[in-house]
Structure 1
Amino acid sequence: MTPRLPAVRPPVFRGRLHDARTATSIGRWLGVAIALCFGTGLISHYLQQPPGWLADVLPSRPVWGYRFTQGLHVAAGIAAVPLLLAKLWAVYPKLFEWPPLRSVRHALERLSVAVLVAGAVFELLTGLLNTVQWYPWPFSFVPVHFAVAWLLAGALLLHIVVKYPQIKGHWTRKSPGTVALPAVDGPDRRSFLTGLAAATGAVTLTTVGQSFTPLKAFDVLAPRHPDHGPMGLPVNRTAAAAGVAQVDSAAYRLMVAGPRPYTLTLAELAALTQYESVLPIACVEGWSKSAHWTGVRVTDLLRRAGAPSDARIRVVSLEKYGSYRVMEMGREYAHDPLTLLALKLNGQTLDPDHGYPARIIAPNRPGVLQTKWVTRLEVL
């Protein structure tokens, strides 16, 4: 007679740290962080790669707009890391539920959770690696990160709809139907959530100084410090990496192509009326810092070339390689009086790593579009 094998029973988890109220409490914080990341991420994406209908209406004010939204984007993403880990720890016993699929609604719930977890892990991991400019994958970061953000947002909305009854029932301590389980897994819920809040605050405090400079003294974990770099300002791409480490100032020419095209030497460019702007460099990696720029107003260069007041422009760099060596600028930016073809930074001639002999600096604009080593402006 064939012996009967003992029935396989799923493990039983008990403890207040694995209950629905704990998961809901963490989920509220995590949901806010993901919503902030998604909203500010949309702003960043469409400022970097605006569709044609949007390019000419993107606002150039407030001057600190992109600095704020992108700093918030990266800060919220970093804060979401410990929150996501805590959320997964609180709900992982659900992976061992038996039977695995009890109904169509339960199957839909599990599918939404699988997509939600995979999307959240992917977005946070790739976003963190982007802050240090390390891309150990074969795909292009920007379009894939953007597409998965929409997938994550959809999965989160579906998850909220499916789980709404449980979320509503555990939203507050006084929610009806909440059952307190014995605290056999360690600290109670309040201690756990307090520790999680402290951890989230700690990683935020030690990284947000890269964009919120009043806290730069605590900037010990971020990949950039706002004061570290040539002329006291960080750079992402050096002149050597761009292939323009040696620029012959005597041979340099700025070409302005328009109805009345013309060419300027560096000496002629420096002899034009110079203006000053205090504007931040704000990079997609999350760091930013304001600086004092001196140069020629782009709108004056365009007017001299006979450009109409609603013209956008194309900016071409001496850079030999790179996705942003050619950049287009909508009319709001091109004709803003604060937008400069800068020749000086903080009163000194530009360092090669900051775009010598001339670079674009414009308000409320991503750093990748503040083109360095400019050699040509084209009226579109």
Structure 2
Amino acid sequence: MNHFRAAAHSPAVTSRIGAALGVTFLLCFLTGLLSHLIQHPPGWFTWPSRPVQLYRITQGVHVISGIASIPLLLAKLWTVYPKLFERPAVRSIPHALERLSILVLSGAAFFEVTTGLLNVAQNYPWDFYFPSLHYAVAWIAIGSVVVHVAVKLPIIRGPKEPEKPEKPSPGLSRRGFLRSTWLVTGVAVVATAGATVPWLRHVSGLSWRTDKGTQGVPVNRTAAAAGVLEIPPGWRLEIATTAGTRSFSLTDLVALPQTTAELPIACVEGWSQSAVWTGVAFPDLLRAAGAEPGSDVRVLSLERNGLYATSELPGTHTADPLTLLALQLNGEVLAPDHGYPCRVIAPNRPGVLQTKWVRRLEVR
């Protein structure tokens, strides 16, 4: 046991695990930042409609790298925790900054990985709005990483003392500890990656949502949860343009040219699923309403009170013939949980922005 502790607390072990944790944290931060910008775009930000798999990949990397960070973070803390109890507690200003950065980094990192893991499981035992706080704490975490690296930089860049060879002893060696860390991290990744990576689905214990929803596609928010219990009699889709408002019945929409495409629906929780969607391409729909493809469109749902009851569909997507007002899923009329009578399905967009139960389009 004493040999195990000595091996685990080796500076070489700490450095290697810290480097791996830095990579996973950076990947998680950058892909999370990208997802936030897509969902809440500032004026300077644009997001393309192609390739259609791009958001599926970036959000999958976000969740997988976050999962990989959990065992790496625990291993990293195990390697350094004896130093946290050294005396004197503070020896200099740089030492105080280092300790403060470790405290902030540890707290922010545990908050991020814990809430992120619960988000993947769609379990929210809190009252705050998860995306906003998760995003804010991510900046705190990455800022504390920068401070920590800056304080440690003289040591990192300084001359390296040769490592003493390990003496044969009972217990886990440095290499054994590192190999165990890589193994646990790999198992954690494989156990979750199947939600995004199709060929891992049969070995991933946490890919349970994929292929198991209505019409072969998972459902995050049901029609009952959204309060869309029935479609109003005489439902018609309204399309408001600068020239006026036109309305289309479901029969009218079916009579328009139909486009069929295989597109993934990718959720912020990390799961994704490809499906075959059929409906009216937005360029055709806008022309039928007297508007130009490439116009920005505000989408309004029959759902009135949900956080995503409205969405903004930018011109890059409304000009793309693969952006559909979908009427069918996998060859069947949309089920209520998938947005009957019609929903948006646009390539390279988060699932929360693929608005269901569409009632009105406002062309800008």
TM-score, structure 2 as length reference: 0.94
CA distances 1:183-239 after superposition (whole Å, capped 9, x unpaired)? 8793011011111111111111111001111111012134x4311110111010011
- Unaligned runs of at least 5 residues, structure 2: none
Q: Which residue of 1 aligns with 2:238?
A: 255
- The letter for the 2-side match of 1:356 is Y
CA distance in 2, matches of 1:316, 1:183: 69
Q: Which residue of 2 aligns with 1:113?
A: 102
Residues 94-105 of structure 1 mapped to structure 2, 5 A cutoff: 94-105=83-94
Contact 1:109 1:159 in 2 (8 A): yes
CA distance in 2, matches of 1:131, 1:340: 27
Alignment counterpart, residue 16 of structure 1, candidates 7, 11, 15: 7
**Are residues 1:335 and 2:350 paired?**
no
CA distance in 2, matches of 1:93, 1:378: 61
Q: Which residue of 1 aligns with 2:253?
A: 269
Alignment counterpart, residue 351 of structure 1, candidates 313, 335, 340: 335
Contact 1:314 1:326 in 2 (8 A): yes
CA distances 1:316-367 after superposition (whole Å, capped 9, x unpaired)? 0011321000111111012211000000011111111111110000010000
Q: Which moved more, 1:286-295 or 1:296-305?
A: 296-305
Q: Using the TM superposition, give the Cα deviation of residue 153 of structure 1 relative to its aligned residue in structure 2, in angstroms.
A: 1.0
Contact 2:297 2:361 in 1 (8 A): yes
Q: Which moved more, 1:127-136 or 1:274-283?
A: 127-136
- The letter for the 2-side match of 1:81 is I
CA distance in 2, matches of 1:276, 1:98: 68
**Are residues 1:318 and 2:289 paired?**
no
Q: Which residue of 1 aligns with 2:32?
A: 41
Residue 21 of structure 2 aligns to a residue whose secondary structure is: helix
Bigger Cα Rg:
1
- The letter for the 2-side match of 1:264 is F
Count how many residue pairs are aligned between Structure 1 and Structure 2: 360
CA distances 1:231-275 after superposition (whole Å, capped 9, x unpaired)? 111010011101113225x52110000023200111111111111
**Are residues 1:150 and 2:131 paired?**
no
- The letter for the 2-side match of 1:142 is P
TM-score, structure 1 as length reference: 0.90
Q: Which residue of 1 aligns with 2:44?
A: 53
The structure-2 alpha-carbon separation of the partners of 1:185 and 1:314, relative to structure 1 and needing over 3 Å to count, comes to: farther
Percentage of pairs with the same residue: 53
Contact 2:7 2:177 in 1 (8 A): no
Alignment counterpart, residue 243 of structure 1, candidates 227, 249, 271: 227
CA distance in 2, matches of 1:131, 1:298: 31
**Are residues 1:162 and 2:151 paired?**
yes
